[in-house]
Every structure is written in structure tokens, then in C-alpha cells.
Amino acid sequence: MKRFCIFLLIIILILGFNFSVLAKEKVTLYTSVPQSIIDNIKKDFEQKNPDIDLEIYRSGTSNVLAKLYAEKESNNIVVDVIWVADFSIYENLKAENLLYPYLSPEAVNVPQVYYEPEGYYYGARLINMVLGYNTKFIKGDDIPDSWKDVLDPRFKGKVGNSTPERSGAFFVTAGAFANNPELGWDYFVELAKQNPVLDSNTGAANKIASGELLMGFVLDYSIRTMKDKGSPIDFVWPIEGAVSVPSPIGIIASTKNLENAKRFVDYSISQDGQKEFARNGFIPIRKDVAPPAGTPDLDDIKLMEIDWEWMRENYSEIIQKFNSILIE
Amino acid sequence: MDIGKSRSKRNISVVLALVAVLILIVLVVYPLYSLLLRAFISEGKLSLQNFHKVFITKDIYVALSHSIFVSTISTVFATIIGVTLAWIVSRTDIPYRKLIKTGLIMPFLIPPFISAIAWLQLIGPAGYINSIYMAIKQTWNPLFVIYGKWAIILVMSLSGYPFVYLTTLTGLEKMNPSLEEAGQISGAGIFTVIKDITIPMMAPTIGAGAILVFVSRIANFGIPAVMGMSANYYVLTTKIYRLISQSFIVKDAQSIAIAMSIFLILIAVCGLLLVKIYLRGKEYIVISGKNVQPKFVNLGKWRYVMFAIALSMIIITVVLPIIAILLTALTKAWGLLPVFSNWTLNNFRYVLLDLDMSKRAIRNSFFLAISASIITTFIGATIAYMVVKVKVKGSQILDFISSIPYSIPGTVFALGMILAWNKSIFGRFNIYNTIWIILISYIARYLAYSVRTISSSLMQIDNSLEEAARISGSTRIQSFRDIIIPLVKPSLFASWFLVFMPAFRELTISVLLWSTGNETIGVAVYNLQEGGNVTASSSLAIIMVIVIFLGNMIIKKVTKGEFGY
């Protein structure tokens, strides 16, 4: 018994010790970037900044924001840098004085449209909501070209998408669809009749790859990496337009690791950082970095109009309207 | 005895009592108070204002009716399975009884959310059975679709039956078999005996087991979280989880979550009261307290049929799920067929070496389980000693309070913890978003195990032993160290184990309290599953199951079969 107790105490000391030795310089990032990709980015960043530990909390946009607000409420903000979709959320964060304005020396290489003029946030990666499908089952004439192909009754129960509550990119998609004269909220009313499976963006892509679903709303980069690994999945750029969402990085105003946070922002829009992003399937925002193989130039692709101002003002309304159609 | 009541004894008792009370206030009373405060206080006055607002929310009733539906149906199935198996094991001459008897409790070892993940892989729309069928038939239509509520019910029944099985088995083994024998001798057939003698006599025990299943199904988070959320089927626990995660988007989200918590508490408390009432009736029925070997029903040629049924139950509830996760953990990508050419060990390398989150989670879970079990055993021993030996006025209340955190659903307890600790203490310390809030939650949650185990062993120590030592001149501390401690040592060890195991595999509480760097293994498995990384979540789940089975084996060896399954 005595020996057993001593043994346990030693284990506790060893495990507890681990908590204190992490005294290395660090920066804490909250993000919705998929785990496997953020792991790669972390590795690359730490390799280029060996004195900094990048700590990561990864979850869906809504969970990340809920965490940020919970921390704010309890007066104990842990996060230094936040990286989720989309601009409208960051406008709100900025209005609430949660963001720190930082003009990165790298900003000169980034097109004006991709960052806030005072440096409150940088749209460091471009993600596009596109139409994914399973290549094992969907062939020839069945290959979709329009968002409306998802509504084909043959695919009832075999389509899927995320929700605006869960994913920032899907929030932008819902808003863009609602404002689109060809689609509108009616599109989602019709979609509801298809009994779509609601999951995360990655979850929907996984279900399409596994054959549980035949097609659905997915993010282009995840399909590129899955396709490379041999999964039976592909995507099309729908004729009504894809929804392109720059997913921004911003520094939290109360950060205690400002210098490290700045270095992460610098990295994310630097040539090195953008190269690493492109390796993970993201379309780079810098013209001096080559996009992932097989990616068309975004100038040649039809993209849907996005009214950022309207999205920002109607944040809750868009989510509630969507939920009332597809969830409740 | 007069010496024993000296001032010094009273002083020590008072100090001990105060410490115990203080610990219980911090760990249990304050979080519950915070929860009830938020529920019933509006603008500084006691009122139902908060409920008035949220009771018109349709969501609450949808989730409530879902909770009751899946829990009721799965309780019915679990009870039928549990009672049948308990009867077969205790009343028939089934071959390999010992093996079957213990094998049927094994589902207890697999955490419910891991069973859910496994069953999704087996019978889900893209599960092994369907994907093999679809590959052979070259079709996109699966053979069958079990999703949402029926999938939840299936897993809840299969992981719930051991509750009924165990209580009924204990009851049947303690029941005096002479009545059944009398019935048989008077010429009644097996089924008449079962219908008219066994079942009526066992009814309270079966009822208590069924209620235990029901309450544990209502409180379960893992199964509906894995199987229900993507099918948009929410029960109370998953709805509360969702509400908390979107509390800044939806107005009143927190109030709605609190209102739902009150429902959960009510259901749990009613259930446990019913069990108390039922089991009080049982005292009259069990005549003989000792285990009596009843005459076994001769199954004849049915022996092996029954054996096959019992064995297949073990295979379905334990072997098959583990094989499914193991196959997935070994497969390159989810969706590929589990054939040898698709196998790899990369997923294990990923969660054990590459992924920081899962490495941290393994370390955290060991840290939490070991520290929680040690601290809980110390506090539990103090409380048990106060209640059983010192008998200070009101010490029964200590026993009652320490049992609350385990009696209410984990989701509710965690919500209380959030409301209690999400602000700074003295404007300086803040344990919210640290590992310590999870640690104190575990201590409070599993305190009841510790108190019960240690008090029942203390009760068996006659006061005369301690008195003899005191008369012979030893001090109170000496007699405590030399008499009490050695005698309760096995129960201290048991308490340690009984806290370690559930703390190690915990999900329901930590999924609401975790933060960056403070993930538990349960949270890591769940998050990987949620994020669509099925192969990684399966690898981590397998590692978790291995630790649980090993721990169980060690304990069984060390305690010579007294603890462990």
C-alpha cells in the first residue's frame, strides 16, 4: 500500500511537472482550420520560429467564438490569435474592441481586398464552398454542374451540408444564397425536402467519400487533399457561382504574447506561410505563390456576390432563418 | 468510553467535520446553488420568470420527449435482455456458466460513446455491413439505414442491459429457491414457475434495475452525441451541450439550458427515489441472505442453444464493437474496405506521436484519474469516518450531500460547475478553462463511490477494537493508524480503483469543461470523431479500451476477484 502510494505520487509529479516545463515562448491560436492541416501549419511555423510554441484549440467556428466569449465573460482571455471564417464576424469583433490592429510588413504583398485597412484582420486563406460528389457512384450525366442538382429527388437523403451556426464558411454561403436572385431562401426550403444530413464541412466531405452521401456542400481544399489520398471524391464549380470566403486571422487585443502573435500573422501572409497553405490545398492570396496543382485562376471562375455589410448586420437573423427552415 | 469523549476527541472531530463540510460546500453545494440561483432568481427576486420565458420554447419539449422516448424503449429492451440472461445464468445448467456469467458484464468496460462509434461503423449508412453490400451489388442504396433514434436505442439497450442483468442476477442468487422448488414439485412447468413464482418475487429487483437503466440512459451524453446530432435528433443532454456552445448566438441559451437541467434533475431524483422504495419492499422477499445453490433447470438439448444465445450476446456487445474500431484504426482512410491491402499502423503513430492534442489528452487523463482517485479517497475516508465512527450530530447530511453529484446527470453537474466557477475568485484566481475545474468536478462526481466503499468496510469494524487500544494507552491517532487503517486498507484500495476507472474514461463532464491544453482522452476521441477523422478517433479509442481492460485485469488479480469485472 505504502509503496503503491509512493508510486502514484511519483507519477503525479512527473505528469504535473509537464505542465510547468512548457515555459517556452508561446502563442495560442483558436481556429476552425481542420486538425490535420493546422498540424502541418504548426510544424512549418515552429520550424521557422523555433523559439515559439504554437498552442492550438481547434473546433467549428461557433465553438471557437463561444469559447472566446466565455473567456471574455470570465475575464480570462487565453487566446492570442483567432483564425476562423469570415469577415463579418471580425467586423463584430472589431466593433467590440476585441481585436488588435497590426499592420504587418508583409501586408504590402497582399491585395487590398484581403485585409482590413488598419490591419485588424487578414484574410490569410481563401476557401471556396463548392459542390462535391462521390466519383464511385456519380458518373457521366449524373455529374452535377448546378447547385440545383442537389435537389434531384433521386438523391433524397443522400445529400449533406454544414450549418451557419457551425461553420463560418457555411454562414457566408447561406447569406450569399439568400441574396442570390436565382436561389434565395426558397433554395433551402427545397433542400429541406431532401432530408440533408447536417454535419461539419469536413464531415460532409467524409460522408461523400465513404459513399454514405452522394453529393453536398464542401470546401474545395479538403476535397483536393482527400482526392490526393485516393478517396473517391471530386467537386465542380457550380454555374450559379461558388462562394469564396477569405478566412481571416486577427490578433486579440488583450493578448499577453503580442510579439509572438505578430510573428504568427507575419508568417501567415508571408511567402513561406502561403506556400505551406498552398501545399495543404488552400488557394494563396499572394500572386507570387503558385496555387495548388490543377486549380483554375479565381478570375476565371464565377463567384457569388457577397454583401458583407448586410451579413454582419443580420448575423443572428440569418442563422435563425436557416435553422427555422432546416433544423426546427 | 468516558475517556473517548474527552475534549481532545471532540476537538479533532469538530475540526474534521468542519474540513469535510468546507470541502463539500466548495465541491457540491456551491455549484448546485449557482445552478438553482440562475434558475429561480430573476432580478433579485425568487420567481419563475426565467422559466416563463423559456417554457414557451418548443425545443425544450422536443428534446424532453426525445429523451423519454429513447430511454423508455431502450429500458424495455435492456430489461428483457438482462432478466432473460440472468435467469439463464442462475437457474439453468448452461455449459461454461462462469465464463458466460462474467462475460455478460463486460459491456460495462466499454464506454458508451465508444460503443456508439463502433456501432456507427458497423451498421451506419456507410458502415462495414452496408459498404460491403454496396461494393458487391454496385449500388448507392444501402441495405438498411439505421440512423438517429433507432441507432441510439440499439446502442442504449446493448450498453444498458448489464445494469438489469447484474441486479437481477444478485437477486436470483440470494432468493430462497425453495418456493420455486415447491412449485416444481407440485407439478408446475418451468414457464408457470417463472411466471407465477420467480417473476413476482423478483419484480422489485427487476424494477429497480430497470429504473437504474432508465436514469442512466436519460443522463447519457455520448450515445446521442455520436449517433443523434448529425441526424439532427437532440435529447436533453446533447441539446444542453449545443446550447452552451452557442450561448452567444442564441438569446437566452443559458436559461434554456438551465431549465432543461431542472427537468433532468427531476427525472433522476424521481427515479432514484423509486429505486429506494422498490428496494425497501425487497427486504421482505429475500428470505435467505446467503447464496443458495438452487436446483438447476435441466435444459436438455436446449443447453447449447441457450449457450449460443448467451455467447452471441457477448460477441455482439463486446467483441464485435472492438473488432469494428480496431479495423477502422488499421485502415488507411475511412470508407475504404477493411481488406489487408488497405491496412496501416499510421493512425496509431499519428495519435501517439504526431498529434499534440491526443498526446496531451492521454497525459491529462492519467493525471486527472490518478490525482482525482487519491484525493477522493482521502476526502471519502474522512467523511466515512465522520459518518460511521464519530457520529457527530448531522453527519448523515455529509453522506447525503456527497452522494448528490453522482445522482444528478453529469451534464447538469458540469453546467453547475461552469456557472459557479466562470468568474475569478477574489478577483485573482480563475480555475475556469484550466485542468483544475475538471479535477474538482471529478472529485465531487466520484466522491459517493469512495464514501460508500469505505463506510461499508468501517461499519464492519467493531468499536471495541479501537476502545481496547485506547484503554491500553494508545492515543487516538495511534489507534487510528494501527487499528483502523490496516483494517480498511482493502477498501481504500477499492475506492482508489472505483474512482480511477470512470475518471479515466470520462466524457460527459469534460466535454463541457475542457479547454486548450486540458483535453481528456474522451474529449479527444469525441472531437476527432466530430471533425470527421474517424480513423484517428478509432485508434485513440482502441488505446483507451486497452488501458481500461488492463486496469480491470490488474485490479481483479490484486483484489482476488473482489473488484473489477
* Candidates 3.40.50.450, 3.40.630.30, 3.40.630.10, 3.40.190.10; CATH matching A24-126+246-292: 3.40.190.10
* Candidates 3.40.190.10, 3.90.180.10, 3.40.50.720, 3.40.50.2300; CATH matching A128-244+301-326: 3.40.190.10
Integer Cα distance of A328 and B419 in angstroms? 28
Nearest to B395 by CA among B18, B32, B2: B18
Judged on CB neighbours under 10 Å (0-12, 13-18, 19+), B499 is buried
Planar angle of CA B129, B214, B25, nearest 5 degrees: 120
Tell whether A321 lies on the interface with B, counting CB pairs under 8 A: no
In three-state form (DSSP H/G/I as H, E/B as E, the rest C), the secondary structure along A183-199 is CHHHHHHHHHHCCCEEC
Integer Cα distance of B208 and B274 in angstroms? 8
Write down the pLDDT at residue B294. 62
Write down the pLDDT at residue A309. 85
Q: Which long-range contacts (CB under 8 A, 24 or more apart) does B476-480 make?
A: B476/B8, B476/B9, B476/B12
**Is a pLDDT exceeding 70 seen at residue A307?**
yes
Helices and strands (DSSP H and E) totals, chain B: 27, 2
A119-140, pLDDT tens digit by residue? 999 998 889 999 999 998 899 8
Nearest to B148 by CA among B21, B60, B234: B234
Q: How many CA atoms lie within 13 A of A91 on its CB side?
A: 11
Kindly state the average pLDDT of the residues A221-231: 83
pTM (2 decimals)? 0.85
Write down the pLDDT at residue A283. 87
Please say whether the beta carbons of A198 and A160 come within 8 A. yes
Write down the pLDDT at residue A74. 67
Name the pairing type of β-strands A122-134 and A25-31. unpaired
Which residues are CB-neighbours of A287 under 8 A, at least 6 positions away?
A111
Per the structure block, which three cell numbers stand in for B318?
A: 463486446
Phi, psi of A52 (to 5 degrees): -115, 135
Q: How far off is chain A from B367, nearest CA to CA, in Å?
A: 6
Nearest to B419 by CA among B31, B14, B8: B31
Q: How far off is chain B from A74, nearest CA to CA, in Å?
A: 5
Q: With cut-offs at 50, 70 and 90, classify the pLDDT of residue A149.
A: very high
Tell whether A214 lies on the interface with B, counting CB pairs under 8 A: yes
Integer Cα distance of A253 and B366 in angstroms? 35
Please say whether the beta carbons of B555 and B490 come within 8 A. no
Kindly state the average pLDDT of the residues A141-153: 94
Write down the pLDDT at residue B397. 85
Write down the pLDDT at residue B42. 64
Chain A residues whose CB is inside 8 A of the B134 CB are: 211
How many angstroms from the chain centroid is the CA of residue A150?
Answer: 23
Integer Cα distance of A137 and A154 in angstroms? 12
Phi, psi of A219 (to 5 degrees): -95, 135
Residue bearing cell 441457450: B306
**Minimum-distance CB partner of B333 among A12, A39, A231:** A231
Q: How many CB pairs under 8 A join A and B?
A: 142
Please say whether the beta carbons of B271 and B211 come within 8 A. yes
One-letter amino acid of B79: T
Chain A residues whose CB is inside 8 A of the B366 CB are: 11, 15
Delimiting residues of CATH 3.40.190.10 domain(s) in chain A: 24-126+246-292, 128-244+301-326
Point out which residues pair with A122 in neighbouring strands: A115, A249
Question: Which helix or strand (DSSP H or E) is residue B468 part of?
Answer: helix B463-471
Q: How far off is chain B from A186, nearest CA to CA, in Å?
A: 21
Tell whether B173 lies on the interface with A, counting CB pairs under 8 A: no
Phi, psi of B45 (to 5 degrees): -120, 150
Please say whether the beta carbons of B240 and B261 come within 8 A. yes
Please say whether the beta carbons of A295 and A278 come within 8 A. no
Tell whether B403 lies on the interface with A, counting CB pairs under 8 A: no
Integer Cα distance of B376 and B125 in angstroms? 43
Integer Cα distance of B503 and B66 in angstroms? 28
More confident residue, B13 or A255: A255
Write down the pLDDT at residue B219. 94
Q: How far off is chain B from A102, nearest CA to CA, in Å?
A: 25
Q: Give the total residue count for chain B.
A: 565
Per the structure block, which three cell numbers stand in for B251?
A: 438569446
Chain A residues whose CB is inside 8 A of the B249 CB are: 62, 65-66, 165, 315-316, 319
Write down the pLDDT at residue B341. 84
How many angstroms from the chain centroid is the CA of residue B71?
Answer: 15
Phi, psi of A122 (to 5 degrees): -125, 125
Question: What DSSP letter does each residue of B65-80 carry, written as one string?
Answer: HHHHHHHHHHHHHHHH
Indicate left, alpha or beta for B425 from its phi (over 0: left) and psi (-120 to 50: alpha): beta
Domain assignments of chain B as residue spans, ordered by start? 57-119+151-332
One-letter amino acid of A97: N
Tell whether A195 lies on the interface with B, counting CB pairs under 8 A: no
Nearest to B416 by CA among B38, B155, B127, B25: B38
Phi, psi of B55 (to 5 degrees): -70, -15
Write down the pLDDT at residue A253. 94
Planar angle of CA B483, B485, B491, nearest 5 degrees: 130
Helix residue ranges per DSSP H, chain A = 2-20, 35-48, 61-73, 87-95, 168-179, 184-193, 201-210, 220-228, 258-269, 271-279, 308-313, 315-326
Q: Chain A interface, mutation test: which of B145, B246, B252, most A Cβ atoms within 10 Å?
A: B246
Which residues are CB-neighbours of B538 under 8 A, at least 6 positions away?
B117, B121, B325, B326, B328, B329, B347
Integer Cα distance of B62 and B236 in angstroms? 9
B40-75, pLDDT tens digit by residue? 776 666 667 666 766 767 778 899 999 999 999 999
Within chain B, which residues score under 50 in pLDDT? Answer: 1-5, 283-289
Q: Which long-range contacts (CB under 8 A, 24 or more apart) does B354-358 make?
A: B354/A39, B355/A35, B355/A39, B355/B536, B356/A39, B356/A42, B356/A56, B357/A35, B357/A56, B357/A58, B357/B519, B357/B524, B357/B527, B358/B521, B358/B524, B358/B528, B358/B536, B358/B540
Q: Specify the 3-state DSSP secondary structure of B100.
A: helix
Please, which residues 114-143 of chain B have a Cβ atom closer than 8 Å to chain A? 124-126, 131, 134, 140, 142
Planar angle of CA A151, A155, A160, nearest 5 degrees: 75
Q: Give the total residue count for chain A.
A: 328
Least confident piece of the model among A19-33, A155-169, A260-274:
A19-33
Minimal Cα distance from A70: which residue of B? B422
Please say whether the beta carbons of A202 and A33 come within 8 A. no
CB count in 10 Å sphere of residue B283: 8
Q: In the CATH scheme, what architecture does the domain B57-119+151-332 have?
A: Orthogonal Bundle (1.10)
Kindly state the average pLDDT of the residues A200-208: 89
Minimal Cα distance from A206: which residue of B? B532
